[in-house]
Amino acid sequence: MTKAELKKNWEKVLELLAESINRNRVDAFFRPLSPSRIREKDSVIMMNCGNSAFFQSSVDRYASDVEKATEAVFGKPYSLLVTDKESDENELDIDQFDPRYTFDTFVAGDNNRLAYAMSMTVAERFDIKHNPLFIYGGSGLGKTHLIQAIGQYVIKENPRKKVIYVSSETFTNEYISSISSRTVDDFRNKYRSADLLLIDDIQFIVGKQETVTEFFNTFNALYNAKKQIVLTSDKLPKDLGDLPERLVSRFAGGMIADIGIPEYETRLAILKRKASVEDVDTDDPDVAAALDLIAQGIQTNIRELESAFTRVLTFSNLEGKKITRDYAKSILTDIYNIKAAEITPQRIKEVVADHFGITPEDIESSKRSREIAYPRQIAIYLSKEKTNYSLEKIASFFGNRNHTTIMYSHKKVREDMERDRDLREVVEKIEEML
């Protein structure tokens, strides 16, 4: 809904309120407010006014009348949120975003390195060398997260910049409704006033000819005015389908950055971050083993990766059970078809490191102290026993030591185990945890 439409509808709400709480009160408490925007996520109409605290408490007394009147006009009840005029503009801008989608919470990995670096560059320098920045990648791989991170960063660092973020669907809907309410000029002015225009999922615009034309004009206006544009898409420009050639070449004329499928380490890092946000102790070996299972089992979609973890966490809270590898498996098998994860040198390294209170990096390192060398030998022994990996391959997991070192470590642990009962127990315990 455009601001003009909102204003018109608000007048109707005032009329209805006048019937239910009388006109004097409406004039005293409601007239001074001017509606700026609807915030759907919590069904709020944002109202501007000086002395917002006073007016907020006044209108709150008529909350149920407001709900009835707004329901009659908008088809759905709303409450009012009154903010001061000065603070409002920026708040409106930031309000478009999911507060969780910032650069701080984004885990950089090999799969997203270029997209991440380019997004940071655009957000920080705010130059238009890379215009548009076109981020593309499969579903659930972090496109929305990144494009929103750009927007939130710019608003925070440059409060005076006008930032607009929309999905291409919202863009389409707004355009269509501006035609029917004869407010196309408002629509155009809004988008052409942007210093930074962020359009998510541009692929959905394909096939909607009039919207495409309108978008092309907006794009050109901003581009020529040297305003930054960022787009996301699940396809490359050339694969978008039925789009005018000139638009495709515009899309491809800036910087194209892809997001690929994350590697195991990145998946695990994302899960760990998510778990710590939820106050789950990721240093707990049982939890770590559960996260490993999820990171091994879900490889191509981070949204699914996160929701698998959320599901385990929810069940563990409900049932009062501890998060362990087996518990996670029991919760997830039906849905994600998670099989017992393959045993790899990587996994062995992690379990061994956990057991001895050191890190996998210590194991890879060249450190020779006994606290490190001994677990390292055990991890090498298990890697040779439990996997089909070649010596070269195993060596690559242990700081590229040479083959003789791998052979030597294996032989030594095997021999030591024959006479050292404690060692045998340690190795068995670790085997169980795999």
Stretch that binds Mg ion, among 19-27, 34-42, 143-151, 283-291 (CB under 5 A): 143-151
Q: Residue 10 is encoded by which pair of tokens? A: 């608000």
107 binds ligand ADP (CB under 6 A): yes
Q: Residue 255 is which amino acid?
A: M
Sign, CA dihedral 150-151-156-160, equals positive
Stretch that binds ligand ADP, among 20-28, 163-171, 301-309, 378-386 (CB under 6 A): 301-309
Q: Applying CB under 5 A, does 131 fall inside the site for Mg ion?
A: no
430 Cα distance to chain centroid:
35
**Which C-beta is closer to ligand ADP: that of 154 or that of 302?**
302
Residue number with CB closer to ligand ADP (6 or 108)? 108
Q: How far is CA 56 from CA 70, 165, 258, 392, in A?
A: 17, 28, 46, 70
State yes or no: residue 167 binds Mg ion (CB under 5 A): no
Segment 188-227, which members bind Mg ion (CB under 5 A)?
A: none
Q: Between 164 and 203, how does the x/- string for binding to ligand ADP read (CB under 6 A)?
A: ----------------------------------------
- Decide if residue 303 touches ligand ADP (CB under 6 A): yes
Considering beta carbons, is residue 265 or 385 the nearer one to ligand ADP?
Answer: 265
**Helix, strand, coil % (nearest 5) of the chain?**
60, 10, 30
The answer to whether 51 contacts ligand ADP (rule: CB under 6 A) is no
**Cβ-count burial 16-55 (b if 16+ within 10 Å, e if not):** bbbeebeeebbeebbebbebbbbeeeeeebbbbbeebeeb
**Which range, of 70-78, 141-149, 241-249, 417-425, touches ligand ADP by CB under 6 A?**
141-149
Q: Which stretch binds Mg ion (CB under 5 A): 139-147, 191-199, 334-342, 400-408?
A: 139-147
Helix (H, G, I), strand (E, B) or coil at 81: strand
> Pseudo-torsion of CA 62, 66, 67, 73, nearest 10°?
170
Site string for Mg ion, 355-394 (x = CB under 5 A): ----------------------------------------
Of residues 33 through 72, those in contact with Mg ion by CB under 5 A are none
Residue in 346, 268, 275 with CA at minimum distance from that of residue 313? 275
Residue 53 is inside which H or E element, if any?
Answer: helix 52-60
- Site membership for ligand ADP, residue 310 (CB under 6 A): no
Does position 112 interact with ligand ADP (CB under 6 A)? The reply is yes
Contact 1, 54 (CB under 8 A): no
Which residue's Cβ lies closest to ligand ADP? Answer: 142
Residues 6+ away with beta carbon under 8 Å from 260 = 110, 111, 112, 137, 141
CA-to-CA distance for 341 and 294, rounded, in angstroms?
A: 9
Give CA–CA dist 98/146, Å, rounded: 11
Identify residues 220-279 at the interface with ligand ADP (CB under 6 A).
Answer: 270
Q: Which stretch binds Mg ion (CB under 5 A): 99-107, 140-148, 345-353, 396-404?
A: 140-148
Q: Which residues bind Mg ion (CB under 5 A)?
A: 143-144
Q: Which residues bind ligand ADP (CB under 6 A)?
A: 101, 105-107, 112, 137, 139-145, 270, 302-303, 306
